[in-house]
Chains A and B, each alone.
Chain A
Amino acid sequence: MKVSLEINGQAVETEVSAALRLSRFLRDVLGLTGVKEGCCEGECGACTVLLDGKPINSCLMLTFQAAGREVTTVEGLDGSSGLQDAFLQLGAVQCGYCTPGMLVAAEGLLLDKSSPSEAEIRHALAGNICRCTGFETIVQAVAAHAATREGACR
C-alpha cells in the first residue's frame, strides 16, 4: 500500500507491506541506521523516534499507521543543539548502541519540559536501557544540556 509521511523534515511517499514495522522501514528501506531494533518488545527503547514530537517505540508501530505524521529519528535531531555534545563531554556514551534512542527520548522530554528535575529525567528515560554506563552520566548530560538550553532561551 502507498503511504505518505514526513521523516526528518522530508516528505516521503512509498509503497509498504501491511506488516512492515516502522523501525524496519526506517532502517532497511530508508537506511536510517541510527534506529536500532534491540528487543522488539518495547523494553529497550533503542528504536525510539519522535512521532509528531513525542517519543514512541518505532518497533511497536506499523509503517502504515504513520501515514500523514511526522517522524524524527536521531539523524533528524539538530546536532548543533548541544545535546549530543553534552553526551560526549560527560562520557554518557560507551558502546553507543542505546545512544540514539536515549538522545531522541531526551529530546522528547526537553520539548515537553525545558528544565526537568533529575527525577523527571530518570522517569522520562526509564524506557531506554543502557548496559554500559549505569545511567548516571546520561542523566547528568541531559541535565547539563537542559541547563544551557534553558539559559540560551532567556
Chain B
Amino acid sequence: MFSIKNFGFTALLATMLVGCVAFDDKDILVGESDASATKIINSSRSAEAGKLLIKFNEKATLALESAKSNDITRSNIEPLNMALTNIGATSVERLFTVDPRHEERTRQMGLHRWYVVCFDSEEQLEKAGKALAEVAEVDIVQYNTTLSYQPSAVIEAEMPTTRLAVDAVNDPYFKDQWHYYNTGSGIHEKQVAGMDVNVKEAWLHCTGDPSIIVAVIDGGVDYTHEDLAANMWVNSGEIANNGIDDDHNGYTDDIHGWNHQTTDGQISWDKPGDDGHGTHVAGTVAAVNNNGKGVCGVAGGDGSGNGVKIMSSQLFSGKAKGTAEVSAKAFKYAADNGAVIAQCSWGYDSGTMTSDKDFRLRAGVEYDGILYFQKVKNSEVIGGGLVLFAAGNDGKNIAGYPGAYRDFISVTATGCDGMPAYYTNYGPGANIAAPGGDQKNHGNKGGVLSTLPKNIARSGYGYMQGTSMACPHASGVAALGLSHAKKLGKKFSLEEFTSMLLLSTDNIDARMANYPEISSLYTGKMGTGSINALRMLMNVEGTPCVEVPKGALAMIDLRPYLGDGTLDIVVRDNLDSATIMSEADKAKLGVTNGPRISNSKLIITCEKTGHGYIDVSYIAGGKEAGYDDGMGGRVSTKRLAVIVRDGHSTNGGWM
C-alpha cells in the first residue's frame, strides 16, 4: 500500500527521502475478480491491525442505527452478524464523529454509512476483510492504511541584526523571508528579485480577514506561539478544559481544533516525534504581521487583529502514525467547524496511483472526507471548501495524490531564483507553483522561514524546505483572496474561485528558457505558473479588460490575462465561437472578424467603439484535461472584458 508523508525536509534529509519508495498494491489486487473482492479497495500492507473501515449500504446502516443495544450483532442482518462474530469483532462504530448540527448533510453525502469494525488483532486482516466483503450489505471494505511519517529537520533562524529602513511591516525576520518579497540580495548569489509571492504590493489592498478560517491538516499547531496565538481560531462555543462538549458539536474541549490521533482537544507539538511541521506551515499561512515579532504570514493581517484564522485539525501527532481513517476525520471536523480552506502538506508518494479513477476507488474514506469538505459552504464569499495539497518531494515527473486529482489543487515548489526546486514533483497532476525553498542549491537561508515550536527551534523560528512549504503560500494567497472578496462583498462559486487562483500566476517557463537542462525537464510541467498575491486580488476585484484597437485586425496574446504567459495553459481552440462572445456584443462592437483563438491569441476585428465580453476556456496544468483513466489539468473558464477604442495612452492612462 501507499505511504503518506508530509512534504517538508531539509537538504540533509532530502537525499534520503527522495529515494523513499512507497509500496504498491496493484499486484495484490490483480486477479481478484469475484464480486466480493471488488469491494476490497486497497491492500492490507501497511494497514493498521485489528481494524477495518466498512461502508455499509443504507439497509445495513439503518439496521445498525435502529438496534437498541450496542452489541456487535445488533443488526437484524444475519450474514453480517455471522461475519462479525466469526472475525471476533469487538466493536462496530460510526467512523465519523456525530455532529448533531450537521447530521442532515452528513447523511445526504453518505458519510453516516462508514463504520469502523474492530476485532481481535490476532485475526488475519485479509481474512477478516474478505469475510465482511462477502456480506451483501457491505459496499466497501477499506484497510486502514497507516500513514508513514517522515521527520522534518529544521535550520534555526539566526537572530535578526538589522531591519530594512522602509518596510511594509515591522516584523524583524521579514527581511529574510525572500519568499514573500525577494529583493534579489541577502540570501544567495543566485537569488532573483521578484521571485516571490508578491505580498508587499498585495498588502496595500488586503492583509486578511478573521472570518476566513484555514484548517491546517497536519501536525499540531503551537497555538501558544508568540507569532501565531492572535491568529488562532478559537471555538467560541466551547469552554476550555471543563470536560463538557459545550457547543454540542461532538467534540469536547476543542478550543483551537482537534487532535484526531489522540481523539481529544489537546493539540500537541512538543511530544517525542513532533517536528514542528504543522507550526511551520501555519506560520506561512498566517503568522501575525506587524506585531514587531518574528515573521510574517501571507494572510496574517496588519497587526490590528484582522489576520485569517488558523484551525489545527491534527493529523500527525508525536510518534503515532496517521491513518486513512484519521485523515478523513480531519477533513470532516474542519468542514463542520467553519474552515473554508484545507491546507494539506502531505500526500501519497508520486507514482503509487497513476489515474484519477485509481485514486478515487482506492482512497475510499479519504476521498469521501475531502469531497464533504469541498461541498460544505462556510463562508458567504465562496460556495464550498478549497483543498490544496503539496505535489510531493520525489523529484518525479508526476505529482502525488490526493493533490494530483483533477478537483484538488497540487502545489509544486520553486527556489529563490524562481526555478523549480531540485526535489519538487512536477508534470501530470501539478496545478500551480509557489516558493518552497531550495537549500541544496541556495544554502540554509534558501529555505522558507516561518514559525516553529521552541522545543524544535529555541528562537521559535527556522527554515524548512519542501512542497510542504510551497503549499501554505498558495493557501495563504487563497485566504487573502477570500478576505478581499469579503471586503468587496463579492461572492464566487468554488469553481470560479479556483479558476481565479490558478490564473493568479507569473510566468515560470520563460525564466527557464536560458537553461536547457532545466527547461527540458520542467517546461509546461510546473502548473499554471508561480502564484502572485497581487494577481489574486486583481482577479477578485473584477474582470480584466483587454484593449482592442478600433477598425484593425487585433491579435492579442491572452496569456498575460490567463496567468502571465505560462505556456502550459492551453487556450482551447475548438470552442464554438458563439460560446466565446454573445451575438449582442458582436453587433454592438461591429465585429467583422472572429473572435477566435489561435495559438493562445485572440483574433478579432471590431469596427465600433465600446465594450463587450468574451469567455475563454483553458486547461490549467498540463496539455490535456484530467480524466478518469489518466492524469491531467483542470478545465476552467475566464471572462474578459473587451474595450474597443481608437487608441490608448502608452502609459495605460484612461485619458
Task: Tell whether A and B belong to one assembly.
Answer: no
Residues of A at the B interface (CB closer than 8 Å) are none
